[in-house]
Amino acid sequence: MPSFSDLTISVVIPVRNGGNKFRRCLSSLSALAPAPREIIVVTDGDEDDSRHAADEFGFPVLRLPTPGGPARARNLGAAKSQGDILFFIDADVTIPRDAVDQVTTAFKNDPGLSAVFGSYDDEPLETNFLSQYKNLFHHFVHQTAKEDASTFWGACGAIRREIFLEMGGFDEVYRHPSIEDIELGYRLKKAGHAIRILKGLKVKHMKRWDVLSLVKTDFFYRALPWTGLILREGRFIDDLNLKISNRLSVISVYILFLILLGALFLPWLFAPMVFLVMALLALNCELYRFFKNKRGFGFAIKTIPWHWFYFLYSGLAFSIGFIIYHIKRLKL
């Protein structure tokens, strides 16, 4: 294993139609100090000027003629890289100037460390409510997670190249941005590899969320495939979005929903409904306090129905995913 002084980093960025936000990402990469050994851009069937933008910054570009998802693009970049550490960055984030130093220092301080990943910061670029809510929610989840991580994150994650190749890279069955990074993290932990969250390594997310993109991503590209992964591996992790408080919140939201329907005909059901509302507020008080401290009381109040809606469709996705998983098992 190379010594710290010999460690080199290859940055790999998959991109599909990155637009101006990709240019901002490239600009932040060009300002890195110290600089990585190389920065490799992989265009995933792009139809805009993403390739030309990378050319303008002097970064080598690998082109995939048809889109196949970030898992395939990252694997291609990793196969062509030369560094000891693969540092994966999404095309819609900007990274701090000292990111390379933070990553190499982490591997220096713990030679047994296999992978690390960072966090979204608390100043997302887009200012509309849903973008602020969703990106701040992601930041909170990262910052309150266990440092000894149970998964991996491809938006800002680094892994020893030899281990990445040994594990077979990202699973290319995921043809869209999905849980390919989480799945890799599960395999890493199963093989006994150590993963850590570097909570001080904060990247700025530039994604703009609206109702359709938020629900579509959470339901179809996160919750449904993650359910299949959980059932395949046979274990829940008490961390990130799967904390016990979140699972209890999903159950509480569904009971609350059923009681609300019943209360239309049986008014006495409003009493237990109040109890469930208080329980949900208590289970998630740390998050709502965080929202209040960051954006004010009005913003925090506004997030609550969206957060409970998140529990509602996440629970639905788990139920559907559970059924799909067991139907597939019966067909085997």
Q: What is the tens place of the pLDDT at every residue in 173-221?
A: 999 999 999 999 999 999 999 999 999 999 999 999 999 999 999 999 9
What is the Cβ-side half-sphere exposure of residue 223, based on CA atoms within 13 angstroms?
A: 22
In terms of domains, do 19 and 153 share one?
yes
Is 218 within the bounds of a domain? no
29 burial (CB, 10 Å; 0-12 / 13-18 / 19+) is: buried
Answer whether residue 194 is part of any domain.
yes
- Average pLDDT of the residues in 42-58: 92
With cut-offs at 50, 70 and 90, classify the pLDDT of residue 236: confident
Tell me the mean pLDDT in the region 13-23: 95
Instruction: Classify 68 as helix, strand or coil.
Output: coil
Q: Is the pLDDT of residue 155 over 50?
A: yes
Domain extent for 317: 240-331
User: Do the domain assignments include residue 219?
Assistant: no
Q: Are residues 291 and 143 in the same domain?
A: no
The domain total for the chain is 2
- Verify that 202 and 69 share a domain, yes or no: yes
Q: Which one of 188, 209, 230 terminates a domain?
A: 209
Residues 90 and 208: their CA atoms lie apart, in Å, by 14
In a shared domain, residues 193 and 295: no
Average pLDDT over residues 297-309: 97
Q: What is the 3-state secondary structure (H, E, C) of 226-286?
A: HHHHHHHHCCCCCCHHHCHHHHHHHHHHHHHHHHHHHHCCCHHHHHHHHHHHHHHHHHCHH
**Residue 272: predicted pLDDT:** 81
Give the DSSP H or E segment for 181.
helix 180-190
Mind listing the pLDDT tens digit for each residue in 66-108?
999 999 999 999 999 999 999 999 999 999 999 999 999 999 9
Q: Are residues 254 and 121 in the same domain?
A: no
Same domain, yes or no: 75 and 174: yes
- The confidence band for 268, taking pLDDT boundaries of 50, 70 and 90, is confident
Domain annotation covers residue 156: yes
For the chain, what percent of residues have pLDDT higher than 90? 84
Find the angle CA(45)-CA(47)-CA(49) to the nearest 5 degrees: 115
Q: Does residue 185 share a domain with residue 82?
A: yes
Backbone angles phi, psi at 89, to 5 degrees: -130, 135
pTM: 0.93
Of the residues 209, 230, 248, the one at which a domain ends: 209
Residue (of 136, 105, 96) closest to 120 by Cα position:
136
CATH of the domain at 191: 3.90.550.10
What confidence score (pLDDT) does residue 4 get?
45
- Lowest-pLDDT range, 25-39, 204-218, 252-266? 252-266
Q: pLDDT at position 2, please? A: 47
Position 103 in a domain: yes
Q: Cis (ω within 30 of 0) for the bond into 267?
A: no
Reference 121, options 322, 294, 302; nearest CA is: 294
Co-location of 166 and 284 in the same domain: no
pLDDT of residue 286 exceeding 90: yes
Amino acid at 34: P
Say how far apart CA 241 and CA 137 lie, in whole Å.
10
253 with 204, same domain: the answer is: no
Tell me, yes or no, whether 222 lies in a domain.
no
Do 148 and 247 fall within a single domain? no
Both 109 and 17 in a single domain?
Answer: yes
Give the integer Cα–Cα distance in Å for 124 and 202. 11
